[in-house]
């Protein structure tokens, strides 16, 4: 009995030591610093760097919305010329192909649209940081407008985090908000002749939406983790 007890105690002690060492190793992992210009800057020039041809959202409205959100935030003064700016924010609407699938009916490319904001040092013309906010293209009219608005808010929230400003609970929750039920396709580009039946189209649409949402949630979760935001505080985390 004593021998068994000693073995159990030794095993428990070893487990505690290993756990402690792992915790210490994780806590001492170095974090790459944010370029000092981002937190020291006072003025910003926001520019529209264009849109991918397959981007499914009104790019001009999105640019105006993000401009207004940055202005409302008030952390940076938005100026009319890069010569007056400490930083240049270049906004681009991207829709990279993230998956290609197909069947006898044709070949389908699935894109994952996002707002991408690249921060430049106007003196050196070097890109010092890039922020990406995935756009969930689900539903129509007011439903779609809501998800686009969340993506715009998330982009500005990510800028706030990099600039060293805490987020509100609502801003934090929006970072990983995704639809609980989704039947509409996120984005479908037909690159072949489609002859498949309607059932096949529905299945492919559901499959591509699941993958796009999974990619979006993975990106948002990574952002929360990289910026020490507990996933338990993020919706969907």
3, part of any domain: no
What is the total count of domains within the chain? 1
The domain containing residue 89 runs over which residues?
37-233
12, part of any domain: no
Q: What is the DSSP string of the chain?
A: -HHHHHHHHHHHHHHHHHHHHHHHHHHT---PPPPHHHHH--EEEEEEEEE-TT--S-HHHHHHHHHHHHHHH-SSEE-SSGGG-SEEEEEEEE--EEEEEEETTEEEEEE--EEEEEEEETTTTEEEEEEEEE----SSHHHHHHHHHHHHHHHHHHHHHHTTPPPPHHHHHHTT---SS--S-S--EE-S-----HHHHHHHHHHHHHHHHHHHHHHHHHHHHHTT--GGGSTT-
Regions in the chain scoring below 70 on pLDDT: 1-30, 176-237
**Residue 174's pLDDT is what?**
85
Residue 155's CATH number:
3.40.50
**Residue 107's pLDDT is what?**
82
**Residue 54's pLDDT is what?**
87
6, part of any domain: no
pLDDT digits (tens, 9 = 90+) for 163-208: 999 999 989 888 866 655 433 333 333 333 333 333 344 334 444 4
């Amino acid at each position: 009995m004593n021998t068994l007890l000693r073995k159990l105690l030794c095993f428990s002690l070893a487990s505690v030591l290993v756990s402690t060492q792992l915790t210490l190793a994780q806590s001492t992992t170095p974090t790459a610093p944010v370029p000092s210009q981002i937190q020291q800057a006072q003025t910003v020039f926001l520019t529209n760097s264009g849109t991918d041809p397959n981007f499914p959202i009104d790019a001009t409205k999105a640019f105006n919305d993000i401009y207004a959100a940055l202005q409302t935030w008030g952390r940076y003064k938005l100026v009319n010329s890069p010569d007056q700016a400490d930083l240049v924010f270049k906004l681009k609407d991207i829709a990279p192909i993230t998956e290609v699938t197909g069947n006898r009916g044709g070949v389908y490319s699935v894109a994952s649209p996002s707002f991408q904001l690249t921060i430049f040092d106007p003196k050196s013309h070097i890109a010092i940081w890039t922020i990406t906010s995935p756009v969930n293209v689900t539903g129509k009219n007011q439903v779609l407008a809501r998800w686009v608005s969340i993506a715009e808010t998330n982009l500005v929230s990510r800028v706030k985090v990099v600039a060293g400003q805490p987020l509100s609970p609502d801003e934090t929750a929006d970072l990983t908000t995704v639809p609980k039920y989704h039947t509409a396709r996120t984005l479908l580009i037909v690159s072949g002749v489609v002859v498949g039946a309607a059932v096949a189209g529905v299945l492919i649409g559901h499959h591509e939406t699941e993958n796009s949402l999974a990619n979006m949630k993975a990106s948002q979760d990574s952002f929360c983790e990289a910026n020490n935001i507990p996933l338990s505080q993020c919706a969907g985390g």
